[in-house]
């Protein structure tokens, strides 16, 4: 992925304006194509009417379908060439720029060449001033901008020509006997299939990007050093002779920290969530329920960045102060503060899931137990909860996977330094915190440091996926028992 | 329960009064357990309620003052020499004027006894650098004031603002607070003249990001969020509805559609940061969308919102009774016509509700946007989906990291604005559901 990386120049309208004015940016081209196909729709409809002499009964399809037929012919080929062009153009432009470089620069090794290309792109983009670059780089950057501008201009011409050609073709096909509806519906069917495949493509994209980058990471750092190492210090020194030049990537402290914070969160969320679900469904009268349900829904709707702010600026200082009052040393980024707030965030998640699960227990079981003289709490404790246990287990599993993947609370309230400890008063770091810190800011896409984030992401993805699959499986099997 | 069991089993042999006497103590114990259990439930609800109240209270308490700012009234002489040295009174000529000099002169006039260079610098620090912009804007809007003398309210610096809002304790030793003793004396003297006032802080709503707390505003982030949301909506709504229509109305039950369904359910549970990694590797590095652009952010958020929209749309489509489809098919409509003319319009309120809720989630999302460079410090207000921008939640994250005391207030205020947007969106969703929900 590296070789075609970071080619933003060609999207950037203003980047080009600095060099040569583009005829049309990709964004305005899309708008133009859409406008043209709207025109094509009305054109096709009117033409169909005209051909039928104003009597739509003599047409095969309703007039709108003739419009849609023309619009599809106008838009689809042009949009297709648009997508294809944008994928190919950067590679072509770059190879032309390289071939135009002076001989000495053209014959660099692949590593140096990619650095050089990066420089050229940055200058072309206006990120670096062209005055400070070497004349060759500045010339190449100008060349790149010119080529991109030409490319975009050519794309605009080609796409618009194709749109007009498509419309002209549709015009020749338009006739009262044309089976426009069938054609349009077949196309729409295909588009619907494409829409539903996007979910698959997303998953494939996630898996491929994580796996490829992780493989490259494990090419630099042995797999077992990563999963079994107990030291994590990804800072790589600038020069090879400095201490810690390579960085150490043992992920155990991160897993331990994640587990610690997750455990604290679950200790708060499970009892509170479960008991409030029980109270709301079995004890509370409707007015209380109407008042309390929204509270839980609001808790669920608050963005995590707000929880993070709350944890870092309100809860953590409070715990630190309380700790000082009783003589405990609580770190200002303690696992306890992050875990507590994460627990609060997860309460509504647990309560709504366990509410569903307990409602799924057949009323007959409940009635039977009550008819035998059991009190409400005895019914819940001895009949409902055992029957709902698999579902509640699944709910907790989903909540754990949610807690593991939660990012903002821990980024803002947990520590940065990897610390292998089980003491909730100390600062620990988590997998998600490390992903964010490794990737924020500019970085080389090749270094072990950046790739490590993808390896951690892969661990996270696999872990949460496994938990969700197990949880869904448990829920499904359990539901079937009573249906 | 055992009592009841005994009675039942002894029913045939001895139907009459052999029932064991109700053990009073035992019953009381059971009732006590019942009350304890109920109390546990109340406590749980209480914990959740207190947590929410505490969170909201701490944010409002920290942030409500950010909506006002302190201004200082000064007698400013709009000196033509300083403002329009070349003459001509055109905007270009006026743009070169020395507006900093104006308020500095005004401060020197007011405190004529301050002579020392260091003292003067401390004096100038009472006002924000934004005072310069205030004056420039005034002159541009009305060039005729050049040469006149006028009383003007100017933006105070953040330290003065914090002092007057009571967030800097004036009783602490001088070295422990950012305001020096002499500055305190000047402020008190200005306040005694009625020249200090807090007013509504328009800059907070109209400015972009800034390193100076008193100049920082959320408008840039709001515009960034707006563009990202537009991209998200334009991508995820048609694709999500299309996917749901296909799965619910057209798809045969086979392995491929099963796979799609499992996929959608799993995507809904993938941690948001993984979507950020996807965005970095695929959308930025493979497709070359510019870093930090709302276009990239919107694309990532669209992928995250897709499962929500698909699931909500499918539920809404399921709720439309089959009789409607059958009636339309019966009079000769094609399947696509049935869906377009009858099913989708009837399902639309449900679809829109789901979409709004999905968009509200996307609006509050932060983590994946950190991965694709929307954390950059961007002063300019974004003008289109390709210009570098940040979004409201990311702005909150960035401000929460700033060391200045005054940014805590700004962060809380930005959170209130974000929560306000979310409340509005959810209220619209609830209204739609109430108004258009139909039961067959």
Q: For the domain that residue A321 is a member of, what is the CATH number?
A: 1.10.3720.10
Domain boundary residue, one of A149, A178, A207: A178
User: Are B123 and B107 contacting, i.e. CB atoms less than 8 angstroms apart?
Assistant: yes
Q: How far is residue B83 from each of residues A218, B106, B142, measured CA to CA in Å?
A: 64, 14, 13
Q: Is B440 on the interface with A (CB under 8 A)?
A: no
Residue B268 and residue B392 in one domain: yes
Q: How far is residue A204 from each of residues A208, A216, A481, B264, B304, measured CA to CA in Å?
A: 6, 18, 34, 12, 14
A274: nearest Cα among A377, A351, A380, A385: A351
List CB contacts (< 8 A) between B393 and chain A: 303, 305
- Furthest CA-CA distance within chain A: 95
Q: Kindly determine whether residue B48 and residue A295, on different chains, have CB atoms separated by under 8 Å.
A: yes
Note the pLDDT of residue A5.
Answer: 34
Find, in chain A, the residue whose alpha carbon is nearest to that of B304: A202
* Distance from the Cα of residue A302 to its chain's centroid: 19
Find, in chain B, the residue whose alpha carbon is nearest to that of A299: B52
Q: Kindly determine whether residue B38 and residue A313, on different chains, have CB atoms separated by under 8 Å.
A: no
Q: Kindly determine whether residue A435 and residue B273, on different chains, have CB atoms separated by under 8 Å.
A: yes
Residue A308 and residue A165 in one domain: no
Residue B233 and residue B336 in one domain: yes
Q: Which one of A125, A199, A339 makes the best mutation probe of the B interface by having the most chain B beta carbons within 10 Å?
A: A199
Question: Domain range holding A117?
Answer: 2-178
Residue A313 and residue A458 in one domain: yes
A425: nearest Cα among A341, A325, A310, A333: A333
Q: Kindly determine whether residue A271 and residue B44, on different chains, have CB atoms separated by under 8 Å.
A: yes
Domain boundary residue, one of A150, A178, A206: A178
User: Are B75 and B110 contacting, i.e. CB atoms less than 8 angstroms apart?
Assistant: yes
Strand order in the sheet with B149-155: B149-155, B68-77, B196-200
Alpha-carbon distance of B203 to A270, in angstroms, equals 44
A366: nearest Cα among A382, A353, A390, A350: A382
Q: Which one of B242, B274, B382, B416 makes the best mutation probe of the A interface by having the most chain A beta carbons within 10 Å?
A: B274
Q: Does residue B101 or residue A468 have the better pLDDT?
A: A468
Residue A26 and residue A119 in one domain: yes
Find, in chain B, the residue whose alpha carbon is nearest to that of A408: B367
Residue B107, C-beta contacts closer than 8 angstroms, at least 6 positions apart: B74, B123, B124, B126, B127
Instruction: Let me know if residue A40 belongs to a domain.
Output: yes
A67: nearest Cα among A51, A45, A85: A45
Residue B126 and residue B266 in one domain: no
Residue B102, C-beta contacts closer than 8 angstroms, at least 6 positions apart: B76, B77, B78, B79, B82, B83, B135
Note the pLDDT of residue A241.
Answer: 53
Rg over CA atoms, chain A: 31
Alpha-carbon distance of B136 to B148, in angstroms, equals 15
Q: How far is A63 from chain B (nearest CA, A)?
A: 14
A311: nearest Cα among B51, B374, B272: B51
Quick one: tokens of B81?
């020499």
- Number of C-beta neighbours around residue A55 at 10 A: 9
Q: Is B185 on the interface with A (CB under 8 A)?
A: no
Backbone angles phi, psi at B14, to 5 degrees: -140, 85
Q: Is B288 on the interface with A (CB under 8 A)?
A: yes
Residue A458 and residue A314 in one domain: yes
Ordered DSSP codes for A180-203 = HHHHHHHHHHHHHHHHHHHHHHHH
Residue A174 and residue A254 in one domain: no
Tens of pLDDT, residues A368-405: 999 999 999 999 999 999 988 888 999 999 999 999 99
Domain boundary residue, one of A163, A178, A193: A178
Q: Which residues pair with B197 in a beta bridge?
A: B71
Residue B25 and residue B142 in one domain: no
Residue A314 and residue A395 in one domain: yes
Q: Kindly determine whether residue B400 and residue A309, on different chains, have CB atoms separated by under 8 Å.
A: yes
Q: Kindly determine whether residue B49 and residue A272, on different chains, have CB atoms separated by under 8 Å.
A: no
Q: Kindly determine whether residue A407 and residue B412, on different chains, have CB atoms separated by under 8 Å.
A: no
Q: Kindly determine whether residue A195 and residue B246, on different chains, have CB atoms separated by under 8 Å.
A: yes
Q: Kindly determine whether residue B55 and residue A271, on different chains, have CB atoms separated by under 8 Å.
A: no
Note the pLDDT of residue A255.
Answer: 93
H/E stretch holding B56 reads: helix B24-63
The SS3 call for residue B72 is strand
Quick one: tokens of B258?
């099963």
Tens of pLDDT, residues A395-454: 999 999 999 999 999 999 988 888 888 888 888 999 999 999 888 865 565 677 888 899
Q: Kindly determine whether residue A302 and residue B364, on different chains, have CB atoms separated by under 8 Å.
A: yes
B307: nearest Cα among B347, B344, B357, B378: B357
User: Are A468 and A398 contacting, i.e. CB atoms less than 8 angstroms apart?
Assistant: yes
Find, in chain A, the residue whose alpha carbon is nearest to that of B418: A303
Residue B285 and residue B334 in one domain: yes
The SS3 call for residue B127 is strand
Find, in chain A, the residue whose alpha carbon is nearest to that of B337: A185
Note the pLDDT of residue A146.
Answer: 85
A9 pLDDT higher than 50: no
Residue B329 and residue B414 in one domain: yes
Domain boundary residue, one of B28, B46, B63: B63
Note the pLDDT of residue B80.
Answer: 76
A412: nearest Cα among A316, A318, A326, A477: A316
Quick one: tokens of A110?
């692949």
Q: Is B93 on the interface with A (CB under 8 A)?
A: no
Q: How far is residue A322 from each of residues A113, B255, B341, measured CA to CA in Å?
A: 58, 57, 64
Residue B29 and residue B109 in one domain: no
Question: Domain range holding B142?
Answer: 65-213
Q: Is B32 on the interface with A (CB under 8 A)?
A: no
Tens of pLDDT, residues A73-118: 998 899 899 888 887 887 788 788 888 877 777 777 666 776 777 7
Q: Is B386 on the interface with A (CB under 8 A)?
A: yes
Rg over CA atoms, chain B: 32
Q: How far is A241 from chain B (nearest CA, A)?
A: 31
Note the pLDDT of residue B207.
Answer: 86
Length of chain B: 440
Q: Kindly determine whether residue B386 and residue A12, on different chains, have CB atoms separated by under 8 Å.
A: yes
List CB contacts (< 8 A) between A472 and chain B: 265
Cα B390–B396–B397 angle (5° rounding)? 90
Q: The pTM is what?
A: 0.87
Q: Is B414 on the interface with A (CB under 8 A)?
A: no
Q: Does residue A109 or residue A297 have the better pLDDT?
A: A297
A356: nearest Cα among A403, A398, A299: A398
Note the pLDDT of residue B397.
Answer: 93
Residue B273 and residue B164 in one domain: no
Note the pLDDT of residue B6.
Answer: 46
B293: nearest Cα among A8, A305, A128, A141: A8
- Number of C-beta neighbours around residue B90 at 10 A: 11
List CB contacts (< 8 A) between A27 and chain B: 384-386
Alpha-carbon distance of A96 to A90, in angstroms, equals 10
Q: How far is A168 from chain B (nearest CA, A)?
A: 27
List CB contacts (< 8 A) between A206 and chain B: 270, 274-275, 277-278
User: What is the C-alpha end-to-end distance of chain B, expressed in Å?
Assistant: 43
Find, in chain B, the residue whose alpha carbon is nearest to that of A186: B336
Note the pLDDT of residue A254.
Answer: 92
Residue A155 and residue A284 in one domain: no
Residue A427 and residue A337 in one domain: yes
Domain count, chain A: 2
- Number of C-beta neighbours around residue B356 at 10 A: 22
Alpha-carbon distance of A244 to A105, in angstroms, equals 33
Domain boundary residue, one of B154, B185, B213: B213
Find, in chain A, the residue whose alpha carbon is nearest to that of B49: A295
Query: Tokens 């100390």 correspond to what residue?
Result: A426
Quick one: tokens of A373?
């003289």
Residue A246 DSSP one-character state: S
What ipTM was assigned to the predicted interfaces of this complex? 0.88
Tens of pLDDT, residues B383-421: 888 888 999 999 999 999 888 888 999 999 999 999 999
Domain boundary residue, one of B196, B213, B230: B213
Q: Exposed (0-12), middle (13-18) or buried (19+): which is B230, by Cβ within 10 Å?
A: middle
Residue B258 and residue B320 in one domain: yes
Ordered DSSP codes for B316-348 = HHHHS-HHHHHHHHHTT--HHHHIIIIIHHHHH
Torsion of CA B293, B297, B303, B305, to 10 degrees: -140
Domain count, chain B: 3
Q: Which of A25, A440, A453 is the closest to B375 by Cβ? A: A440
Q: Does residue A42 or residue B101 have the better pLDDT?
A: A42
Alpha helices (H) along B96-129:
99-110, 117-124
Instruction: Let me know if residue A111 belongs to a domain.
Output: yes
Residue B195 and residue B301 in one domain: no
Q: Look at phi and psi of residue A19 and say left if phi exceeds 0, alpha if psi is from -120 to 50, else beta.
A: alpha
Find, in chain A, the residue whose alpha carbon is nearest to that of B359: A301
A20 pLDDT higher than 60: no
- pLDDT category, A126, cuts 50, 70, 90? low
Residue A50 and residue A170 in one domain: yes
Query: Tokens 């947990």 correspond to what residue?
Result: A414
Give the number of A-B residue pairs with CB atoms closer than 8 Å: 293
Residue B311 and residue B410 in one domain: yes
Quick one: tokens of A37?
């196909």
List CB contacts (< 8 A) between A194 and chain B: 242
Q: Which of B242, B266, B271 is the closest to A195 by Cβ? A: B242
Residue B57 and residue B72 in one domain: no
Which regions in chain B score pLDDT beneath 50?
1-11, 14-15
Q: How far is B47 from chain A (nearest CA, A)?
A: 7
The SS3 call for residue B200 is strand
């Amino acid at each position: 992925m590296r070789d075609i990386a970071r080619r933003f120049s060609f999207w950037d309208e203003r980047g080009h304006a600095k060099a040569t004015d583009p005829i049309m940016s990709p964004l305005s081209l899309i708008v133009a194509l859409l406008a043209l196909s709207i025109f094509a729709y009305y054109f096709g409809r009117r033409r169909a009417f005209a051909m039928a002499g104003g009597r739509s009964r003599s047409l095969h399809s309703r007039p709108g379908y003739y419009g849609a037929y023309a619009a599809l012919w106008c838009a689809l080929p042009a949009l297709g060439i648009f997508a294809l062009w944008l994928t190919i153009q950067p590679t072509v432009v770059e190879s032309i720029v390289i071939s135009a470089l002076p001989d000495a620069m053209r014959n660099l090794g692949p590593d140096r060449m990619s650095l050089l290309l990066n420089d050229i792109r940055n200058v072309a983009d206006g990120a670096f001033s062209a005055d400070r670059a070497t004349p060759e780089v500045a010339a190449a950057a100008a060349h790149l901008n010119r080529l991109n501008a030409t490319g975009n201009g050519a794309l605009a011409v080609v796409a618009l020509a194709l749109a007009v050609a498509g419309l002209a073709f549709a015009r020749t096909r338009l006739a009262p006997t044309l089976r426009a509806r069938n054609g349009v519906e077949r196309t729409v069917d295909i588009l619907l299939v494409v829409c539903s495949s996007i979910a698959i493509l997303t998953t494939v994209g996630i898996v491929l990007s994580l796996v490829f980058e992780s493989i490259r990471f494990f090419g630099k750092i042995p797999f077992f050093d990563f999963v079994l190492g107990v030291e994590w210090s990804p800072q790589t020194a600038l020069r090879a002779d400095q201490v810690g030049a390579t960085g150490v990537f043992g992920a155990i402290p991160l897993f331990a920290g994640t587990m610690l914070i997750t455990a604290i969160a679950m200790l708060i969320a499970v009892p509170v969530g479960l008991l409030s679900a029980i109270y709301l469904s079995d004890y509370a009268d409707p007015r209380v329920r109407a008042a309390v349900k929204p509270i839980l829904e609001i808790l669920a709707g608050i963005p995590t960045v707000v929880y993070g702010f709350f944890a870092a600026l309100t809860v953590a200082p409070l715990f630190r102060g309380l700790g000082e009052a009783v003589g405990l040393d609580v770190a200002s980024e303690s696992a306890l503060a992050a875990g507590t707030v994460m627990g609060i965030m997860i309460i509504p998640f647990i309560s709504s899931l366990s509410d569903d699960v307990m409602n799924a227990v057949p009323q007959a079981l409940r009635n039977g137990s009550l008819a035998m003289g059991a009190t409400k709490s005895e019914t819940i404790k001895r009949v409902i909860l055992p029957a709902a246990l698999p579902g509640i287990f699944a709910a907790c599993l989903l909540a754990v996977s949610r807690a593991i993947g939660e990012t903002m609370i821990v980024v803002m309230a947990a520590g940065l330094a990897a610390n292998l400890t089980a003491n909730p008063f100390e600062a620990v770091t988590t997998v998600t915190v490390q992903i964010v810190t490794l990737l924020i800011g500019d970085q080389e896409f090749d270094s072990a440091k950046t790739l490590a984030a993808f390896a951690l992401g892969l661990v996270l993805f696999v872990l949460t996926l496994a938990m969700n699959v197990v949880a869904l499986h448990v829920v499904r099997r359990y539901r079937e028992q009573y249906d | 329960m055992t009592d009841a069991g005994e009675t039942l089993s002894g029913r045939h042999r001895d139907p009459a009064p052999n029932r064991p006497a109700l053990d009073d103590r035992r019953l009381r114990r059971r009732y006590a357990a019942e009350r304890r259990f109920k109390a546990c439930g109340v406590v749980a609800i209480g914990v959740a309620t207190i947590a929410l109240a505490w969170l909201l209270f701490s944010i409002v308490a920290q942030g409500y003052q950010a909506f006002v700012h302190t201004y200082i009234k000064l007698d400013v002489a709009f000196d033509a020499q300083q403002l329009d040295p070349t003459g001509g009174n055109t905007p270009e000529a006026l743009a070169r004027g020395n507006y900093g000099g104006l308020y500095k002169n005004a401060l020197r006039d007011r405190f004529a006894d301050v002579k020392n260079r260091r003292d003067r610098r401390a004096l100038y620090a009472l006002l924000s650098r934004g005072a310069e912009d205030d004056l420039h804007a005034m002159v541009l809007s009305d060039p005729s004031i050049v040469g006149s003398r006028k009383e003007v309210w100017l933006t105070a610096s953040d330290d003065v603002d914090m002092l007057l809002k009571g967030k800097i304790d004036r009783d602490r030793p001088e070295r422990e607070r950012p305001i020096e003793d002499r500055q305190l004396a000047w402020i008190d003297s200005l306040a005694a003249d009625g020249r200090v006032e807090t007013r509504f802080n328009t800059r907070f709503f109209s400015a972009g990001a800034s390193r100076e707390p008193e100049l920082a505003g959320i408008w840039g982030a709001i515009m960034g969020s707006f563009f990202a949301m537009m991209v998200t909506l334009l991508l995820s709504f048609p694709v999500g509805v299309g996917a749901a229509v296909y799965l619910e109305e057209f798809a045969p039950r086979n392995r491929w559609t099963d796979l799609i369904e499992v996929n959608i359910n799993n995507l809904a549970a993938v941690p948001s940061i993984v979507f950020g990694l996807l965005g970095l590797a695929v959308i930025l590095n493979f497709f070359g969308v510019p870093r930090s652009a709302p276009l990239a952010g919107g694309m990532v958020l669209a992928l995250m919102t897709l499962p929500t929209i698909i699931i909500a749309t499918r539920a809404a489509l399921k709720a439309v009774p089959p009789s409607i489809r059958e009636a339309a098919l019966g009079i000769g409509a094609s399947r696509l016509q049935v869906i377009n003319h009858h099913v989708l319009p009837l399902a639309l309120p449900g679809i829109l509700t789901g979409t709004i809720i999905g968009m509200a989630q996307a609006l509050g999302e932060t983590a994946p946007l950190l991965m694709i460079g929307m954390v950059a410090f961007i002063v300019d207000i974004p003008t289109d989906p390709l210009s570098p921008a940040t979004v409201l939640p990311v702005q909150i994250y960035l401000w929460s990291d700033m060391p200045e005391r005054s940014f805590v207030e700004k962060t809380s205020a930005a959170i209130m604005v974000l929560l306000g947007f979310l409340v509005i969106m959810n209220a619209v969703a609830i209204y739609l559901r109430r108004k258009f929900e139909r039961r067959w």
